[in-house]
Every structure is written in structure tokens, then in C-alpha cells.
Structure 1
Amino acid sequence: MTMHLVKLCVGADSIEDLERYRSGAKASAEARGEIWQSMHVTRMFPKQADKLLDGGSLYWVIRRVIQVRQKIIDLQEVIGDDGIKRCAIVLDNELVRTAPAARRPFQGWRYLKPDDAPMDLSDPSAGGAELPAELRRKLLEIGAW
């Protein structure tokens, strides 16, 4: 059974901010002659790794709203400069916009069951794909979505 993760996208105020950050990271890696791969390093290694690798995605919370996801490709153990083991969540480079789903602030990441995951905006039943992101956010804030 597939499982997803949900994580705060700290420092980003919009999907465009996340895209700019990723573009900068990619350019920096390529300038060093490295091949860039989208990933997020976290302190804890997920106990349900097999379920995450069975089609799971990382859903990003931006300004208290899930707005976008990335498919999880791999989970790799990495050692930080401080010698502490961490988990690198290797992600597909494509950002998939989702129907907005409000989330309260939290630390770390949380599991997200497939039934609780917001639909992709490319799914016609999700609705709102043509709306500007700010309008979608406002509709969610007032409870109209």
C-alpha cells in the first residue's frame, strides 16, 4: 500500500519561490560539474520506506497549504558534515500542482494516506486549475474550497 509524506516548504511563499530555489540549486550544481537531482535531507529515516517507494510523493506545504507534490524516487542514508546519519529523500524533478489543502504548522514530516492526499490539479475533478494561486489560497482561507 502506497504512503506519502507531507513537509513544510520553509522559506517559500509560493510555488514560484520553490521553483526559483530549485533552479538556483541546479545551476550551482552544474557550475561545479555535478549532475543535479532534486532531494530533501531530513534527520529521520522513515520507518515505512517500502510504502513510500511504492508510488509515494512528498507533498509540500507552502504558506499553510499543500500546493504541490514531487514523486519520491529513493530514500538514501547520508552522513552529514557533523557525522550524523540522515535520510536523503530523492525526488522526481517535476513539480505537480495539487488542489489546495490546509495544514497547520508542524515540525519534521508526517505520513499522508493516499485517501487524504489532495488531487493533482491536472485531474479534471480537482477543479481550479485555471485560477491564480493567490485566489485559490484566499478561497481556501474563507472556507469556500
Structure 2
Amino acid sequence: MALHLLKLCVGATSIAELEAWIAGRAAAARKSGVAFEQVHVTRMVPTRSADLLDGGSLYWVIKGEVAARQKLLDLRTFVDAEGVRRCGLVLDPDVVRVEPRPSRPFQGWRYLAAKEAPRDLGADAGAAGLPEALSRELRDLGLL
């Protein structure tokens, strides 16, 4: 059964910003002739790697909401230059929007059971074509 990770998306204030950051890194890799691979480095190493790699995703919390996810492709542990053990979360570069759900701030990452994960937003969802800020405002007003 798939298990997911939940993590704050530090530095991005919207899904569009996250997607632009990924696209920029991919373009820079292409320009330098290197194959692009999106790896997010975290200090803690998940112990349940088999469950995470069995269809798991990294769910991003953006501006206090679980807003998007990226499929986990691999987990790579390594020791950095300071001798600290770290984990590289290898992610599919495609960002999938999910039904927004409030989330309180936390440090690091948390496991997220498959049954607790928000559903993906389909292209036919009512707010799928709206700008993120407008969609958030309409949700806050209880109109979506």
C-alpha cells in the first residue's frame, strides 16, 4: 500500500512558482548538457522507503494548504561534505494539483497515509482553470 510524504514548500508562494522553479532548473540542466533530475534533499531519511516507492508522492504544503504533489521515483541516502547523513528525494518533475486542504506549519516532513491524502484535481474541476489566488479567495469565502 502506498505511503506518501508531506512537506512544506519553502520559498514558493504558489504552485505556479514551484512549477516555474522546476522548469528553470530543467532549462539550466539542458543548457549545460546535463540530464535533468529533480532531487529534493532533506536531512532525515525515511525508514519506510519500500512503502514510499510503492506509488507514493511528496505532497507540498504551500501557503498553509496541501496544494500539490509530485510522484516519488527514488530515495537516495548520502553523507554531505560536513559528514551529515541526508536523503535525496527523486521526484517526477510533473506537479499535480490536489484538492486544497489546510495544514499547520511543521518542521521536516511527515508521513501521509494514502487514505488521508487529498484527491487530485482533474482538469474538469470547477476551479481548475482559475488563477490560484482567485481560487484560494473563493474557497476562503465558501464559494468553492
Shift of 1:52: 0.5
Aligned to 1:55: 55
Distance 1:130 1:32, change over 3 A: closer
3-state secondary structure, aligned to 2:66: strand
Tell me how far apart the structure 1 counterparts of residues 116 and 40 of structure 2 sit (CA, whole Å): 22
What aligned pairs does 1:114-129 form with structure 2 within 5 A after superposition? 114-122=114-122, 127-129=126-128
TM-score by length of 1: 0.88
Say whether residues 1:100 and 2:94 are aligned partners: no
| Structure 1, 50-59 or 77-86: larger mean CA deviation | 77-86
**What CA deviation, in whole Å up to 9, does each residue of 1:63-121 have, x standing for no partner?**
11111100001101123222322100101111111111111111100111111111111
Q: Is this contact kept in 2: 1:2–1:56, CA < 8 A?
A: yes
What aligned pairs does 1:65-144 form with structure 2 within 5 A after superposition? 65-122=65-122, 127-142=126-141
Shift of 1:129: 2.2
Aligned to 2:43: 43
3-state secondary structure, aligned to 2:11: coil
Tell me how far apart the structure 1 counterparts of residues 106 and 123 of structure 2 sit (CA, whole Å): 28
Q: Is this contact kept in 1: 2:22–2:93, CA < 8 A?
A: no
Shift of 1:39: 1.6
Tell me how far apart the structure 2 counterparts of residues 78 and 32 of structure 1 sit (CA, whole Å): 24
| Structure 1, 126-135 or 102-111: larger mean CA deviation | 126-135
TM-score by length of 2: 0.89
Q: Is this contact kept in 2: 1:40–1:90, CA < 8 A?
A: yes
Tell me how far apart the structure 2 counterparts of residues 142 and 52 of structure 1 sit (CA, whole Å): 36
Any unmatched runs of 5+ in structure 1?
Answer: none
| Structure 1, 31-40 or 107-116: larger mean CA deviation | 31-40
Any unmatched runs of 5+ in structure 2?
Answer: none
Identity of aligned residues (%): 49
Distance 1:131 1:46, change over 3 A: same
Size of the aligned set, in residue pairs, is: 144
Aligned to 1:6: 6
